[in-house]
Amino acid sequence: MSTLLNISQLSWQVQNKAILQNINFNVRKGEVIGIIGPNGAGKTSLLRCITNQNNILASTNVTGSVQLKNRAITQYSAKEVAQHFALVMQKNDTIFALSVQDVMKMGLLPHKTLFSLDSDHDKAQINLALKKVGLEQALHHSFNQLSGGEQQRVLIARALVQASQVLILDEPTNHLDVFYQHQVLQLVNKLNITVIMTVHDLNLASLYCQRLLLLNQGQLICDGSPEEVLTPKQLSQVFGLPCQQSVDAMTGATQVSFYLPETDEHHSRFSESVDE
């Protein structure tokens, strides 16, 4: 597998706080990578730097480099970046009554010139992408009236129309129930394209990602397979909780479980929050 992305010595400092510190890793074509870590670890910030959102790499607070196909990402235009990376964000609500088709057409934008109209080929592409996510019948439905899981799938389909190279997802399973969490991640896992996503749920990350990056306080603590990354020693250090690793009998995936020890201090906090 060839190297697609190269992130080296990436640091981001805002005032005296280090948001990212000396991050180094490569992404090979076709990998499905999950970025895990506690709140505020720098997961979303890392995604922003990788895609050079708002030309963030040009800011003086950011040092290091991100290379796409051996060329600095800062040398690509915003349009070229959009042709390589497709983002699926956490929040996508609109007050206007957009149809699924309207949302899908947005994905064509990075491949279109000014004044251009939709061709038959565009329509075929949109239908194909919707078919891949199992929503081919929803073309004329209202986007706002879809369930959270269906909206997420439409956005993934939009990403497929936009760029077939790298799919970036920020917490794709947020606000979804267990069924849709698995449905969305399984879909992402089977697309056969490069995927980089932040995931909160460690067991879902383990099940659907080949490789995990564990971040804590802006540092890359560990980079490897789920089995290598999700070790009790590392996780209890990062999350501040005792942890156990096991192999799930049904899926064969590495799974972890945490518990909060009942020391006096912890116990009182815990019972208070339960009372609420």
Partner 1 sequence: MNKVTTIFLVLIALVILSAMAAVTFGPADIDSAELISCLVGSCQNQIANIVIWQVRIPRVLVALVAGMGLAIAGAILQNTTRNPLADPYLFGIVSGAGLGATIANISLADNLTVALPLAAFLGALFSVIIVVFIAKVLQRMEQLLLAGVAVSFMLGSITQFILYFGEPFATNRVIFWLMGSLARVEMANFYVIASVLIVAIVTVIAVHRQIDALLLGDESAASLGVDVDKLRLLMLGICAALTATIVAYCGGIGFVGLMIPHIVRQLIGVTTLKLIIGSALIGAIFLIWVDVIARSSLPHAEIPIGIITSALGSIFFLFIMYRSRAIT
- Gyration radius of the chain over CA positions: 20
Contacting residue, 3, 61, 92, 186, with partner 1 by CB under 8 A:
92
Give how many residues touch partner 1 by CB under 8 A. Answer: 35
Between 98 and 221, CB nearer to partner 1: 98
Tabulate helix, strand, coil % of the chain (nearest 5). 40, 30, 30
Interaction of residue 66 with partner 1, rule CB under 8 A: no
Interaction of residue 85 with partner 1, rule CB under 8 A: yes
Please name which of 228, 147, 271, 115 lies closest in space to residue 155, comparing C-alpha atoms: 147
Interaction of residue 145 with partner 1, rule CB under 8 A: no
Interaction of residue 164 with partner 1, rule CB under 8 A: no
Contacting residue, 46, 87, 205, 229, with partner 1 by CB under 8 A:
87
Interaction of residue 78 with partner 1, rule CB under 8 A: yes
18, two tokens: 């280090």
Distance CA 187, CA 117 (A): 30
Give the distance from CA 138 to its chain's centroid: 24
Between 105 and 211, CB nearer to partner 1: 105
Which residues are within 8 A (CB) of 223 and not within 5 positions of it... i.e. 6 or more apart? Answer: 25, 211, 212, 213, 214, 229
Between 51 and 255, CB nearer to partner 1: 51
Distance CA 237, CA 213 (A): 15
Contacting residue, 96, 179, 261, 273, with partner 1 by CB under 8 A:
96
Interaction of residue 77 with partner 1, rule CB under 8 A: yes
Interaction of residue 45 with partner 1, rule CB under 8 A: no
Q: Which amino acid is at 197?
A: M
Q: Which residues bind partner 1 (CB under 8 A)?
A: 51, 53-54, 77-83, 85-87, 89, 91-98, 102-103, 105-110, 112, 114-116, 162
